[in-house]
């Protein structure tokens, strides 16, 4: 499977960025183009069943990690820094645990390795109730989606998944596969051999995705992990506090390993 990506910059050590559930590489465009490009050679990737990457029936973290391993091999990246947000954070963690030789540094944004309750079931059901082909405009789809999703910012995020070929609209993501494997997406990661490399976990101070109780599970798998809290940021730390996140990440990328 050839994952779609955008590259920012052509010098420096590689940094691979993985988006969250129902996201795509474009969610990280601004930070990739500005702060991160000055610190690394950035590859913002669409994970399978998302964005412009291929669709497939299988979707679990071992499979997503294998996709990323093949991506690093195909582009001859060697060990790379890997940054993942939310679902992408779990993919990044799984990759570090299964293929530690492919990961130079691990950066996880607002995600722990534990199992999570099904936060997105209602959103996924709302999306499944809409067939974009039956609508003539993005605004009409937004209006239909508003019947189930009252939050305008969340609807705008979801509508980034719309594709338009000049005649009809369609969902770009593989909604059927995502719904079928949602239990795999929310599942805990295994406690196998730990990743001994440098690891940075960044959580939003206004988010409940990474709690103090999660420190034990993080350290069990990533004994050299550092946990940083960005006050006032919610789950989408890169949208809520981009400058603060950029500073933390670039400092970590430039730090010398022991």
For the chain, list residues with pLDDT below 50: none
Instruction: Give me the pLDDT at residue 143, please.
Output: 96
Please count the other Cβ atoms lying within 10 Å of the Cβ belonging to residue 232. Answer: 12
Output the pTM of the full model.
0.96
Residue 176 falls in the annotated catalytic set: yes
Residue 67 falls in the annotated catalytic set: no
- Rounded to whole angstroms, how far apart are CA atoms 200 and 36? 15
Q: Which domains does the chain have, with CATH numbers?
A: 5-115+187-254 (3.40.50.1820), 121-180 (no CATH)
In contact, 86 and 111? CB cutoff 8 Å: yes
Backbone Cα Rg of the chain: 18
- Closest CA relative to residue 64, chosen from 49, 76, 79, 74: 49
Catalytic residue among 38, 139, 176, 183: 176
Instruction: Give me the pLDDT at residue 191, please.
Output: 83
Catalytic residue among 53, 86, 104, 238: 86
169 has which bridge partners? Answer: 164
CB neighbour list of residue 183: distance below 8 Å, 6 or more residues apart: none
């Amino acid at each position: 499977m050839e994952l779609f990506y955008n590259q920012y910059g052509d010098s420096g050590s590689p940094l691979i960025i993985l988006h969250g559930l129902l996201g795509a590489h474009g969610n990280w465009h601004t930070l990739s183009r500005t702060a991160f490009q000055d610190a690394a050679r950035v590859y913002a990737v669409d994970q399978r069943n998302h964005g412009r990457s291929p669709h497939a029936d299988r979707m679990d973290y071992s499979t997503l990690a294998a996709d990323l391993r093949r991506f690093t091999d195909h582009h001859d990246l060697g060990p790379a820094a890997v940054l993942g947000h939310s679902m992408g954070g779990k993919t990044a963690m799984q990759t570090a645990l299964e293929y530690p030789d492919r990961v130079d540094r691990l950066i996880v944004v607002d995600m722990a390795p534990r199992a999570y309750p099904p936060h997105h079931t209602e959103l996924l059901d709302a999306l499944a109730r809409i067939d974009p082909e039956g609508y003539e405009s993005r605004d009409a789809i937004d209006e239909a989606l508003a019947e189930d999703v009252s939050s305008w910012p969340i609807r705008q995020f979801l509508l980034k998944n719309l594709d338009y070929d000049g005649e009809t609209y369609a969902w770009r993501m593989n909604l059927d596969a995502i719904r079928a494997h949602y239990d795999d997406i929310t599942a805990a990661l295994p406690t196998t051999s730990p990743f001994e490399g440098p690891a940075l976990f960044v959580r939003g101070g206004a988010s409940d995705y990474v709690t103090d109780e999660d420190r034990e599970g993080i350290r069990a798998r990533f004994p050299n992990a550092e946990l940083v809290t960005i006050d006032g940021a919610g789950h989408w730390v890169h949208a809520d506090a981009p400058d603060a996140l950029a500073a933390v990440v670039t400092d970590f990328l430039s730090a010398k390993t022991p």
